[in-house]
Amino acid sequence: KLTLVLADRLSGCEVELLTGFSNYKEYTITNMSSLAQEFEKHGVEKYSDPQACMADIIGHSALLITSDNLVVIQLRSQVVGEGAGMWHFPGGHPEPEELGISCSEDLAETEPGKIVDEIYDSLLREMKEELNLSEDD
C-alpha cells in the first residue's frame, strides 16, 4: 500500500503528497493496535512526529450521486478489520502493485504522475467492485 508521509499545500489548490510504502499487516500492527499511542509517543520522542512510526496507508472514498440525485452509501460487513457495521462511502486504497511497485525502491523510481493516476484509477476500480458496476454504468 502507499502511505502518506507528508502533505504540504504548495499554492492555491496544489498539494504535494510525499508517499511511502507499507502493507496492511504493518497498518494493523501500528495504527489499529492497542499500542498505537505508544508508537505515537515514540515517534514524537525520536523523530518529533507522532506519525513517524505509523503505517498511514492512503485511503480514499467518493461521494457518488446517482442520475436521480441519490447519494450512495454502504453498510460495512461485521467481519472486517476496521469500521465493522458502519455506514461509509465507497472507497478503498491505491494499489502500488498496479504500477509494478513492490518495494520502497520501486516507489522512489516511479514517475509521480503515475502515482496520482493510480490514486484516481483505484477509486474508480473500488466503486465498480464494491457496487458491482459495469463499464457502462
pLDDT of residue 15: 72
CA end-to-end span of the chain, whole Å? 28
The amino acid present at 53, given as its one-letter code, is C
pTM of the model: 0.71
State the DSSP H helix or E strand holding residue 4, giving kind and residue range, or none if neither: strand 2-11
Return all residues near 51 (Cβ < 8 A) that are at least 6 apart. 40, 43
pLDDT of residue 6: 66
State the DSSP H helix or E strand holding residue 124, giving kind and residue range, or none if neither: helix 112-131
pLDDT of residue 7: 64
From first to last of its 137 residues, the chain has per-residue pLDDT tens of 777 776 666 666 777 777 787 888 888 899 889 999 999 999 999 999 998 899 888 888 888 898 999 999 999 999 987 789 999 998 888 888 888 888 878 888 888 889 889 988 999 998 898 889 887 77
Q: How far apart are CA 109 and CA 112, in angstroms?
A: 9
For residue 6, the cross-strand partners are: 18
